[in-house]
Amino acid sequence: MLVKLFSDFFTIERLIELVRILVGLFGIYLAVRLAVYFTSRALARLFLTGKNRDERRRQTVYTLMQSSLRYLFYFFAIVAVLNLFHVNTSSLITAAGVGGLIIGLGTQNLIRDLVAGFFILLEDQFAVGDLVAIGAAEGIVERMGIRTTAVRDPTGKLFVIPNGQINSLVVHSPNPWVILDYDLHGESPERLLAKLAPLLPRWREEIGNIQTPIQVWPLAAAEKNFLRFAALTEPACRYSVERELAGRLSALFESGKAGADS
Is residue 259 pLDDT above 80, yes or no? Answer: no
Confidence class for position 158, pLDDT limits 50, 70, 90: very high
Mean per-residue pLDDT of the chain: 79
| Other CB atoms within 10 Å distance of the CB of residue 19 | 10
CA distance 118 to 238: 33
In eight-state DSSP terms, residue 212 is S
Q: What's the burial of 167, exposed, middle or buried (CB within 10 Å: 0-12/13-18/19+)?
A: exposed
CA distance 44 to 250: 52
Q: Residue 10: which H helix or E strand, with range? A: none
For the chain, percent of residues with pLDDT exceeding 90 = 12
Confidence class for position 262, pLDDT limits 50, 70, 90: very low
Radius of gyration over every alpha carbon of the chain, rounded to an integer in angstroms: 33
**Residue 253 phi/psi, 5° resolution?**
-75, -35
Those residues whose C-beta lies under 8 Å from the C-beta of residue 136, and which sit 6 or more positions away, are: 159
What pLDDT does 260 receive? 41
CA distance 11 to 13: 5
Digit-coded pLDDT (tens) for 183-232? 887 777 888 888 888 899 999 999 988 988 999 988 877 677 888 999 99
Name the pTM for this structure: 0.48
Confidence class for position 5, pLDDT limits 50, 70, 90: low
Q: Residue 144: which H helix or E strand, with range? A: strand 137-144
Query: Do the beta carbons of residue 232 and residue 210 sit within 8 Å?
Result: yes
What pLDDT does 258 receive? 42
Is residue 29 pLDDT above 90, yes or no? Answer: no
Mean pLDDT score, 98-104 = 66
Those residues whose C-beta lies under 8 Å from the C-beta of residue 236, and which sit 6 or more positions away, are: 174
Which of 168, 245, 181 lies closest to 210, judged by CA? 245
Query: Do the beta carbons of residue 141 and residue 129 sit within 8 Å?
Result: yes
Mean pLDDT score, 20-32 = 85
| Other CB atoms within 10 Å distance of the CB of residue 187 | 15
What pLDDT does 261 receive? 43
